[in-house]
Amino acid sequence: MPADDPYSAGPGASLASQPAGGVIYDRGYRRYDGVRLGRLQIALALFWHSLRSSFGIGRGAKAKILPVIAFAGMCLPAAVNSVAVARGGPPVVFYGTYTFPLRVVIMTIFVAVQAPELVSRDLRSHVLPLYFSRPLRRRDYPAAKYAAFTVACLIMIEIPLLLLYLGNIVSAKGSSSVWHQTRLLAGGLGVGALWAVLLAAIGLALACLSAKRAYATGAVAIFFFLTWTLAQIIYSVAGHPVVHAGPHPVAPGVTAVPAITSGQRLAGLISPFTVLDGVRQWLGGKVPGPMAPPGHYGPVYGVMFLVLLAASLTILAIRYRKAGVE
Amino acid sequence: MTTRAQGAVTETAVIETQALTKRYPGQVTALDGLTVAIAPGITGLVGANGAGKSTLIKILLGLVEPTSGRAMVLGHDCRLHGERIRTLIGYMPEHDCLPPDVTATEFVTHLGRMSGLPATAAKERAAESLRHVGLHEERYRQIGTYSTGMKQRVKLAQALVGDPRLLLLDEPTNGLDPAGRADMLDLIFRIGTEFGISIVVASHLLGEIERICDHLVAVDAGRLLRADTVSSFTEVRRVLLVEVEEGARPLADELARRGLDPRPYQRALLLPLAGDATYDAVRDAVADLRLPLGRLERRRHSLEELFRDGGEPALATTEVPDAS
């Protein structure tokens, strides 16, 4: 279009010449005739943006504190293990469970704090109409957010496993030992992927129910801790009091606990974490988990995993079907 | 609805609707057979709150499916090509839609990417858009620290960042003080006239529309009241104003008896003007009643006036039967 003062300098160059009052708009308008990205590439951009903000990148320094601490905490067992192995001792951390209680606590905190970062902020500031008045379709938004947060959880879980692997193979003797470690790692990575897929879904589904970040964080944290505690309580109540005193697993290497009741085998269905561990053991994981192996209830754990995942993704989809329009 | 709309339209309408109807569950009718065509330029979409302005905008953006009827934006059907349309439209919502804890630059850049711009282009255009709306150094500050006027500018900048062919602005002067309103209106006028972007401004404030728009579309209860050029809305109205120092009521009765249709307006009466006979009738009535006549004039009226008396009835007086 005709411009009174067509400018040739870059956008930043005009800054110095602007008067402080700032009422000069008449600098000529330039049409954009460059490349326009399609819907999928826009969704990909949203994915990257969300993945970065999962770790506070592109935000202030404060936003990075928690993700960094959580990640460091997750790497700690790998470091301890590599020291132990380097000294010639047996491995103290296993790929399948990876110091289960620590993983539960750190992932609960990470998901509870970072999932609202991805969804509650946009709800709170009513920014969704701006997304949905752009080429993105309704489902693209939650899909990009879910993909991003799944990858964020994968980074939290899998990178420590890779460090664990590195620590083990540095001290490994012979190629068969390395091969053995690699196979164990593959299993561990698979389990980690299940964790990431499910925790990201549950975290976002709970977080998107509230536009207030504190509530969203509370909802996620309470859900994870409450179900985890409840599973443990029911596990110990359902056991034979004489034979079995507590929910804690017996020493590594000993898999058979005498007289496990059906109640104990099913108690793990209450918490997503124990569901994940039940699935792991059902699929052949040998390392003892926080609870007794599911035994022939294994498929029930598989179904429960799918039900939790489907329910969470359904909530997410429904939440964004109308959001930003009303 | 009426076909009056066509009076305001050239062959290249940016927006065209045909019998557009939207009913929400629970028998709420937001749009009721709206047929209108909007030409390039700056068009005011006026109506009281709840008249259907926002619903119309959402249908145009392809965010809401119409119950029946058809809507076209820049030649694309809203029902079928919402995605394509949304690359061509910039939308400024009525309500607050800005996160407080990011800078305007980051925010507009991100939304530029969401409009389909590659990363570098998004950065450049975000800087340009913010400069066009008059935000300079401030754009590196967090939006939470902005005044209402600056926030409105950021909302406008994000609508502009994707180089739209059409801007839909929903109550852009919401919450601004008079000076802020004037600035925002100047800005919209510049964008509409100098940037070559067509603009539809939804507003319930007619005074504003009058200032910056070429065309006007008035809706009420989901129906089209009138669509025309602003000048024709404000053209000399074939209405006669009669003001007497006292005795307005007996005069009204007398005029009604003589077959006229007087309507009280402030301290005066308004009459549909149908040629010299109307003047004669007024003269005779005033003389017969021996009333002191203070004022007798043909009215030129402003848009505010059209709506002041409650929308439709006031507008209906513009459609008095006359010779034209």
The per-residue pLDDT for range B266-276, each reduced to its tens digit, is 788 888 877 78
Could you give the dihedral angle defined by the CA atoms of residues A308, A314, A317 and A318, in that order, rounded to the nearest 10 degrees? -130
Mean pLDDT of chain B: 85
Residue in A2, A38, A133 nearest the CB of B61: A133
Residue A6 lies in a domain: no
pLDDT for res A254: 52
Q: Which amino acid is at A15?
A: L
pLDDT for res A18: 43
A chain contacts of residue B133, beta-carbon cutoff 8 Å: 25
Residue in B102, B119, B136 nearest the CB of A18: B136
Best residue in B76, B92, B123, B128 for a mutation probing chain A (most A CBs within 10 Å)? B128
Architecture of the domain delimited by B4-232 = 3-Layer(aba) Sandwich (3.40)
CATH number of B235-300: 3.30.70.980
Residue A313 lies in a domain: yes
Q: Which pTM value belongs to this model?
A: 0.80
CA distance A220 to chain B (A): 22
pLDDT for res A250: 54
What the block records as the tokens of B28 is 């709420």
B chain contacts of residue A15, beta-carbon cutoff 8 Å: 136-137
SS3 category, B28: strand
| Residues in CB range of A208: below 8 A, 6 or more apart | A119, A120, A123, A142, A216, A315, A316, A319, A320
pLDDT for res A56: 93
Residue A141 lies in a domain: yes
Are B91 and A37 an interchain contact pair (Cβ–Cβ within 8 Å)?
Answer: no
Residue in A18, A130, A135 nearest the CB of B97: A130
* Residue A28: Cβ within 10 Å count: 16
Residue B318 pLDDT greater than 70, yes or no: no
Give the closest residue to A313 by CA, choosing from A79, A127, A124, A145: A145
pLDDT for res A248: 57
C-alpha span between B118 and B108 (Å, rounded): 13
Query: What residue ranges of chain B are covered by domains with CATH 3.40.50.300?
Result: 4-232
CA distance A300 to chain B (A): 41
Q: Which has the minimum average pLDDT: A277-281, A287-291, B7-11, B35-39?
A: B7-11
pLDDT for res A245: 46
Residue in B100, B124, B196 nearest the CB of A11: B124
Residue A207 lies in a domain: yes
A chain contacts of residue B138, beta-carbon cutoff 8 Å: 22
Give the closest residue to A77 by CA, choosing from A165, A154, A152: A165
Dihedral angle sign, alpha carbons of residues B221, B321, B217, B38: positive
Residue A20 lies in a domain: no
CA distance A207 to chain B (A): 17
How many domains, in total, are found in chain A? 1
Are B111 and A134 an interchain contact pair (Cβ–Cβ within 8 Å)?
Answer: yes
SS3 category, B292: coil
User: For chain A, how many residues are written?
Assistant: 326
Q: What percent of chain B has pLDDT over 90?
A: 51
Q: Which has the minimum average pLDDT: A213-227, B107-121, B171-185, B292-306?
A: B292-306
Query: What residue ranges of chain B are covered by domains with CATH 3.30.70.980?
Result: 235-300
Residue B303 pLDDT greater than 80, yes or no: no
